[in-house]
Amino acid sequence: MFFSLFAGVNPAKAEAALNVNADGAILVDGETGKVLYEKNADSVLGIASMTKMMTEYILLEAVKSGKVKWDQEYTPSDLVYKISQNRDLSNVPLRADGKYKVRELYEAMAIYSANAATIAIAEVIGGSETNFVKMMNEKAKKLGLKDYKFVNSTGLNNRDYLGQHPQGTGPEDENVMSPRTVAKLAYHLINDFPDVLKTASTPRKFFKEGTDDQIKMDNWNWMLPSLTFGYEGMDGLKTGTTDFAGSCFTGTASRDGKRFITVVQNAKDANGQGSHKARFDETRKMLDYAFSNYSKEELVPKHYQIKGHKSVPVIKGKDNQVKIYTKSAIDMVVLNGDKENYKPVLVLDKKKINKKGELTAPIKKGETVGYLTIEPKNGEKVSFLTEEGQKKIQVDVIAAQDVEKANWFVLMMRGIGNFFGDVWHGISSTVKGWF
C-alpha cells in the first residue's frame, strides 16, 4: 500500500556532476550502504592490497570469537621470513627466529600494508596461507559478495611469492573484485568491526619500537588529516598498487554525522597516468561531492500515522479497530532539497491479517503489525549494497493501544446481529427487485 507523506511538486532529481578518472569507482553512504554514484561498478578489476581488508575482517572475527589472541606469539615461517626481507615490497623486516605478537603484525598490515606480516596472520589463523585463501573465498560467499577471486592474503601478484604461492593458484594470479564488491566488503568491515578505524587512521607508528629492529611505519593512506593529501574526517581504509591493478584506494571519511565510503580502481590523472596522487585526487572528488550535496534527513518521524490509514480493522475484539503508528523514525542520506521526493510504503504482516485486511484480537500495545519503508515518488529504485542496509530505512509499524478479546457473549450477540443483518439485507434487496 502506497501513501503520500510529502506535499509539493517533485523537483527534477539532481544528477551527480562527477567524472571520476578510474577504470571503476563507487560512492556509498557508510551507514546504510546506499549507492550515491557508480562507474563500471560491476567490472571485475585488480584490487592489490585492498585485499587486506578481507584478511583484517577474518582476523578481527577470529579475535572476537576467541580463536586468536592479540598477545598470541608467532615465529616466522621460511616463506614469511623471505618475503619480509624484500624491501621492494611493503614490509617490516622479520627475524627468522623472532617472536611477534598478533597485534603488532596486524598493525603492520593495517598501517603499513606489510605483506609478510599479512601472510603471518594468514598462517596464524589458517595454519597455512593455502587454507586461509579458502577461508577468504568462503567468507566472501557468506558475506554475500559477488564478482571476486582471492588467490592470496596480501594482494601481491603470485610471482612475488618466489614459487611458494598458495596451492591451487597460478604463478601469475592476482586477486580481483568489482568496485561494488570492494565497497560491500569495506561496509561490512567498518560496521561489523568499527574499531578497525582506530588502527587504519593511525598516521605513523614504530614497529618494534625501542628495539634494534625498530622501523618507522608511515600510513600509505596519505589522505589522513595530518598527511600529504590530508582530508577532514578521513579515517580509513586501504590503499593498493600493483602493475596489474594500478593505483587503487578504498577510503572512508566522517563529518557532521555523515559517513561515506569510496572505491577507485586503476585511478589515473588528467594525462591518463596512474599514481598515488591520482587515487587520492579522484577520491577527494567523490567525497567533496558527497559532503556538499547530501544531507541526513528525517523522512518519517517516530509515531507517524499514515493519512487515511491511522487504524486497522479488528475482529473478535472489544474494539473493532486499532490505531497504528511507526515505532521509530526513518533517517536517510538524500540529495539536498530532495526530501520531498520520497513517499512512505506501508506493508502489513500477511501472517497477522486475514484476506479482508483485519487483525484478530487480542492485540497488545507495541505489537508489530507490519513495517513502513520509503521509495522515490518517481519510481526510481534506490540501490543498496546489502539487504541489511535496505532494512535501515525500514521501521516497524506497531499497535498504539491494547485491544482485548471480546467475551463469548459479546461475540455471540455480534454473530446474531450479523445474521439478522444479512437476512434483512437479503429481504430488502428482494423487495427492491419487485418494484
Active centre residues (catalytic): 49, 52, 113
The residue type at 74? Y
Tell me the residue type at 144: G
Q: What is the DSSP letter of 403?
A: B
Provide the 3-class DSSP secondary structure of residue 335.
strand
3-class SS of residue 390:
helix
- Residue reference for cell 578497525: 196
Cis check: omega of the bond before 362, within 30 degrees of 0: yes
Kindly list the distances between the CA atom of residue 45 and the CA atoms of 25, 182, 265, 270, 386, in Å, as whole numbers in the listed order: 11, 10, 7, 21, 21
In angstroms, the CA 29 to CA 22 distance is 20
User: Cα(175)–Cα(165) distance, rounded to whole angstroms?
Assistant: 13
What sign results for the dihedral spanned by CA atoms 120, 121, 122, 126? Answer: positive
> Which three-class secondary structure string do you get for 117-136?
HHHHHHHHHHCCHHHHHHHH
For residue 416, give Cα distances in angstroms to 88, 168, 419, 430.
90, 77, 5, 21
| 91 φ, ψ (degrees, to nearest 5) | -155, 155
3-state secondary structure string across 278-311: HHHHHHHHHHHHHHHHEEEEEEECCCCCECCECE
DSSP structure string for 214-263: -EEEE-S-TTSTTSTT--TTEEEEEEEEETTTEEEEEEEEEETTEEEEEE
Torsion, CA 252, CA 255, CA 260, CA 263, rounded to 10: -40
Place of cell 526510481: 380
For residue 397, give the nearest of 361, 374, 370 by alpha carbon. Answer: 370
